[in-house]
Amino acid sequence: MDLDFSKEQVEFREQVRTWLEENAPREIRPEMGPAMREYDLAWQRTQWEGGWAGISWPQEYGGRGLSLLQQLIWFEEYGRAGLPGIDACFVGLSHAGPTLMTRASEEQKTYHLARILRGEVIWCQGFSEPDAGSDLAALRTRARIEGDELVVSGQKIWTSFATLADWQELLVRTDPEGSRHHGISWVICDMHSPGIEVRGIETIEGGAEFCEVFYDDVRIPLENVVGGLNKGWSVAMSTLSFERGTAFTANQVRLASTVEKLIDLAKERTGPDGRRPAIADDEIARRLATARAEVASLRAMTYAGISRNMHRDQPGPEGSMVKLFYSDVAKKVYRLAFDLLGADALRFVSRWEPGGWSGNYLYSYSVSIGGGTSEVQRNIIGDRVLGLPR
């Protein structure tokens, strides 16, 4: 049991901090649209040029191949610097890229991985469908084989950044006889292909990154199948073992600094009695303290998870506990922010603007839904951590 970082790790932290201070984008991130795409890609390019792209990617694929503790340090400093998330680059860097490394052919890896790292392309995900959400294996988007092409028809939904994306990791049913998990293929789809139509879905916070994608006889070369025809389910599942507990660290650090900002805000703002500062209100003070205790626990949980993963090759299912606890705490924190503002919270300020508490409050409803709902996380914890009967 120790919290000591070695001399090299402390120097590494200094190095990361200095580099981020000198190179992080100074401009405010534009709202959803082509300017945001350019902003996110430019920042990824800067990281590539500085030698910081793909910090958890193995060196053979052009990444930094950092140790778990170095990754932790990077994400902590990244979060502390108040930098925006890797939003539009997320699927490429943390999902499609790692899947390609594990299951793609040499040609596919050579073509795509470097482009992701260099900040040249945006990837999006094509998994969920209107009738296949948590039950992903119920997906119905069909692909029939014609010569050396797949011809895709169907619909995907909840695809973030589809309007900005170049490529998509797409799950399609290639064997109509195959039941559920069988007969699915994982395909690299060019988002500029004819027959693709993308429609935006406005979210409760007025956000525009959500999309639905329609496929009308979209032709995709058979060579774009990854990991073998009809074997897509196992390809999709192989991505999960890539994440070893560091990736959400930046979000947690951001949440911790949000709590600190709220404590400052509660000292400045007048409280519910209209006379004293909000922090003098017992209920608000207790909720702030509870938030502090819970974000501290979240960080300790992440440290515990990383410590556990340092002693084994494959991460265990405990990551679901961090995800579930994070969602719970984040929703409480943004609800507290909303309550702190009193009637001022009724004035809408988007989360992209300074003081965007109302926007962030609405956005917080997505954290217990996206990336596997909290109910699915509870099933995973029950089945795989506790060994309860299915």
Residue selected from 51, 274, 354, 387 as contacting another protein according to rule CB under 8 A: 387
Residue selected from 136, 324, 336, 340 as contacting another protein according to rule CB under 8 A: 324
Residue placing its CB nearer to another protein in the complex, 47 or 309: 309
Is residue 139 at the binding interface for another protein, with CB under 8 A as the rule? Answer: no
Residue placing its CB nearer to another protein in the complex, 69 or 218: 69
Which of 332, 362, 330 has its CA nearest to residue 348? Answer: 362
Residue selected from 247, 301, 345, 349 as contacting another protein according to rule CB under 8 A: 301
Q: Which two tokens stand for residue 101?
A: 């490394």
Dihedral, CA of residue 210, residue 334, residue 319 and residue 231, to nearest 10: -10
Residue selected from 41, 69, 139, 333 as contacting another protein according to rule CB under 8 A: 69
Chain centroid offset of residue 53 CA:
16
Q: Which of 31, 120, 149, 243 is catalytic?
A: 243
- Angle at CA 306, nearest 5°, toward 302 and 310? 170
Q: How many residues bind another protein (CB under 8 A)?
A: 51
Is residue 83 at the binding interface for another protein, with CB under 8 A as the rule? Answer: no
Instruction: Looking at residues 325 to 384 of the shown chain, list those that interact with another protein (rule: CB under 8 A).
Output: 325, 375, 377-379, 381-383
Q: How far apart are CA 93 and CA 334, in angstroms?
A: 27
Residue selected from 298, 337, 362, 367 as contacting another protein according to rule CB under 8 A: 298
Residue placing its CB nearer to another protein in the complex, 2 or 107: 2
Minimum CB distance to another protein, residue 303 (Å): 5
- Owner of token pair 């409760």: 204
Dihedral, CA of residue 374, residue 378, residue 383 and residue 385, to nearest 10: 110
Residue selected from 1, 204, 343, 346 as contacting another protein according to rule CB under 8 A: 1
Residues 73 and 13 sit within 8 Å (Cβ to Cβ): yes
Q: Which amino acid is at 233?
A: W
Residue placing its CB nearer to another protein in the complex, 23 or 307: 307
Minimum CB distance to another protein, residue 138 (Å): 18
Residue placing its CB nearer to another protein in the complex, 200 or 316: 316
Q: Which two tokens stand for residue 341?
A: 């503002």
DSSP 305: H
Residue placing its CB nearer to another protein in the complex, 140 or 299: 299
- Owner of token pair 């609800």: 335
Residue selected from 115, 308, 331, 335 as contacting another protein according to rule CB under 8 A: 308
Distances (CA, A) of 133 to 62, 204, 208: 34, 19, 20
Residue placing its CB nearer to another protein in the complex, 196 or 381: 381
Minimum CB distance to another protein, residue 311 (Å): 8
Give the x-and-dash track for 255-294 against another protein (CB under 8 A): -x---x--x---------------x--x--xx-xxx-xxx
Q: How far apart are CA 348 and CA 150, in angstroms?
A: 46
- Please spell the DSSP secondary structure of 352-381, one letter per residue: TSTT-HHHHHHHGGGTTTTTS-HHHHHHHI
Residues 248 and 298 sit within 8 Å (Cβ to Cβ): no
Residue placing its CB nearer to another protein in the complex, 185 or 377: 377
Other Cβ atoms within 10 Å of 22 Cβ, number: 8
Residues 167 and 189 sit within 8 Å (Cβ to Cβ): yes
| Residue 243: active-site member | yes
Residues 77 and 13 sit within 8 Å (Cβ to Cβ): yes
DSSP 81: T
Give the x-and-dash track for 40-59 against another protein (CB under 8 A): --------------------
Which of 31, 349, 32 has its CA nearest to residue 209? Answer: 32
Is residue 254 at the binding interface for another protein, with CB under 8 A as the rule? Answer: no
Chain centroid offset of residue 347 CA:
28
What is the set of active-site residues? 243
Report the interface residues with another protein, using CB under 8 A: 1-5, 9, 69, 72, 256, 260, 263, 279, 282, 285-286, 288-290, 292-294, 296-301, 303-304, 306-308, 310-311, 318, 321, 324-325, 375, 377-379, 381-383, 385-390
